[in-house]
Amino acid sequence: MLIASFSQRSLENACALWDEGQVVAIPTETVYGLAGDATNDKAITTIYSVKNRPVFNPLIIHCHSLSQAKRYAEFSLRAERVANAFWPGPLTLVLKRRMGCEISLLASAGLDTLALRIPAHPIALDLLRAYEIPLAAPSANLSNTISPTRAQDVYASLGERVPLILDGGDTSVGVESTILDLSGEEPVLLRPGGLALEVIEKQIGEKVLHYKGDEIKAPGMTKRHYAPEAKVKLNMTVKQNKQGEVLLGFGAVVGDLSLSLSGNLEEAAANLFRMLRDLDQPGIHTISIAPIPNHGLGLAINDRLRRAAAD
């Protein structure tokens, strides 16, 4: 069976596959990741090819502890404070690579920086501790499709391209990690995600700049990304009464499904990708989506929805 529940045996299978430079899909608290040995060029090449991902789009490196992460990247005082406050958790830090860092240069697309995080998922942490070498892991889906929040989503997207999918149930956060660039003078948000910006700003006592460059520096910085097959229409409060249209509600806007009836943004983020997948069925040409407030996790939800709606 390709999808395996987590046990000592499946942990050993995963480590054996990583030793051979192969990839394994693993649960994290955000989305499922397609993980490979971050120090092995062959594994990194496999990750890019399994996902059909352009090689100029670098990967996130997963560690089990701050002391492990420090072997590979330079932590400023600010970075250390942020890491201590939010790791393990849905936050990725972009930091300068250390001299002699063994992480494959292919994994960071030749940049002199590294994107690092410690996932807050017991299975991911057990695997990282058992394997000891950091794991590079982008979301476990084909490039430009909706990220997987369940083991069966990984299978639906990648099928037999992955030799092993470890099932950890539904992910709890449901959107990818927030990416914060701390490699320069000022903290810069590269991607809104599962940790709210307000929470980070409060902790560090500074405003975080929003990345505005035109080069691709973070994910889905290509305009269309996270895209379902159906057309996505934003800020809709009613259906236009056409066949083949579904409404995804939020709060007072009651739809065919609701991201959160009580208007809770954490709940909405956790439901977002699963509901988009469930609504994206043959015969459905339009998914209309209720307005989502643009604060807290709403920033990440609206970011993903804008990309899903782009032509």
Which tokens belong to 41? 């060029």
Which one among 28, 46, 104, 286 touches ligand TXA, defined by CB under 6 A? 28
**Residue number, 208 or 253, with CB nearest to ligand TXA:** 208
Among 36-44, 65-73, 107-115, 236-244, which window interacts with ligand TXA (CB under 6 A)?
A: 107-115
Angle at 56 between CA 148 and CA 76, to 5 degrees: 85
- What lies within 8 Å, CB to CB, of 113 at 6+ separation is 73, 94, 95, 96, 97, 181, 183
Residue 33 binds what, of ligand TXA, Mg ion, none (CB under 5 to 8 Å, by partner type)? ligand TXA
Contact status: 271 vs ligand TXA (CB under 6 A): no
Residue 94 binds what, of Mg ion, ligand TXA, none (CB under 5 to 8 Å, by partner type)? ligand TXA
Q: Is the dihedral of CA 148, 150, 151, 157 positive or negative?
A: negative
Among 27-35, 156-164, 235-243, 258-266, which window interacts with ligand TXA (CB under 6 A)?
A: 27-35
Phi then psi for 200, rounded to 5 degrees?
-65, -45
Q: Which of residues 61-90 bind ligand TXA (CB under 6 A)?
A: none
Contact status: 139 vs Mg ion (CB under 5 A): yes
Separation in Å, CA 23 to CA 40, 50, 72, 120, 164 = 11, 9, 21, 20, 8
Strand, coil or helix: 191? strand
**Residue number, 27 or 255, with CB nearest to Mg ion:** 27
Contact status: 57 vs ligand TXA (CB under 6 A): yes
Compute the distance between CA of residue 94 and CA of residue 75 in angstroms, rounded to an integer: 10
Name the site residues for ligand TXA (rule: CB under 6 A).
28, 30-31, 33, 57-60, 92, 94, 108, 111, 113-115, 119, 137-139, 176-177, 179, 190, 217-219
